[in-house]
Amino acid sequence: MISKGALKYIRSLQIKKYRLLHQAFTVEGEKSVAELLQSDFVLESVFATQKFIDKHTSLLRKGLEVVQVSEEELSKAGSMESNNAALAIAKMRPAAAFSWEEHPFVLALDEVRDPGNLGTIIRIADWYGLTSIVLSENSADFYNQKVIAATMGSFTRILPHYVDLASFLKNRPKSVPVFGAALEGENVHHLELQPTGVLVMGNESHGIRPEIMQQVTQPLHIPGRGGAESLNVGTATAILLDNFFRNI
């Protein structure tokens, strides 16, 4: 059973203020919790159905608090419409300084606000082997439960760095190019892009802010041929990353 205190704590973690206060967040659903259990995240507790416990016994580390609960309790406690597997509470990773040496290529998001979009982008970044993501301070919260769900487990392999993006780009090593998605950029199909530098993706409605655009050394455009005015930011990120990684 989930105690009243635990229920209150779980629900508080759906709000950013309390996630920051406790430096903790929730992970829901079979795939996401199973990936979490295989990662090096510090866990506070796991609430799981007997079925999940039986199926994933080997993943349940010694000393870990595992509370057996019903599907109804899980669905009531968490943010998913239905959850027949598990809900875990994990500690956020400590914020770390970004190292340019370790990341010859990095994806930077300028005020991407939609949690679903951010989650999709994290999954795509993981697909192409990135291990960090840089986000402007006003971007969606990496540890939001909808973001975590949309990453399909990729949140365990990508480290977020929230920064003042304008300063971050200004202070980069001089040789690092900055690419940015823009409607009036160069046709990516005519470039042989190499994954070196920074790729900036902008806000869902307004694109990249002018002060960030000033730092972009190579605007990029995905050529369209039909009537659609734009692509979703997750879709555009996927196409651009594929264009960067196709030549190596």
Q: Which residues bind a copy of itself (CB under 8 A)?
A: 120, 123-131, 152-154, 156-157, 189, 222-232, 234-235, 238-239, 242-243, 245-247
Cα–Cα distance for residue pair 216/247, rounded to 1 Å: 22
Residue 65 CB, nearest approach to a copy of itself (Å): 27
Residue 170, strand partner residues: none
In the bound state with a copy of itself, the residue whose beta carbon lies nearer, of 90 and 238, is 238
Residue 174 CB, nearest approach to a copy of itself (Å): 28
Residue 158 CB, nearest approach to a copy of itself (Å): 9
Structure tokens at 222: 């995905």
* Number of other CB atoms surrounding residue 223 within 10 Å: 8
- Find, among 244, 226, 247, 110, the residue nearest to 169 by Cα: 110
Residue 96 CB, nearest approach to a copy of itself (Å): 19
CB-CB contact of 177 with 217 (8 Å): yes
Residue 41 CB, nearest approach to a copy of itself (Å): 14
In the bound state with a copy of itself, the residue whose beta carbon lies nearer, of 38 and 217, is 38
In the bound state with a copy of itself, the residue whose beta carbon lies nearer, of 28 and 126, is 126
In the bound state with a copy of itself, the residue whose beta carbon lies nearer, of 124 and 135, is 124
In the bound state with a copy of itself, the residue whose beta carbon lies nearer, of 67 and 80, is 80
What is the 3-state secondary structure of 27-76?
EECHHHHHHHHCCCCCEEEEEECHHHHHHCHHHCCCCCCEEECCHHHHHH
CB-CB contact of 61 with 55 (8 Å): no
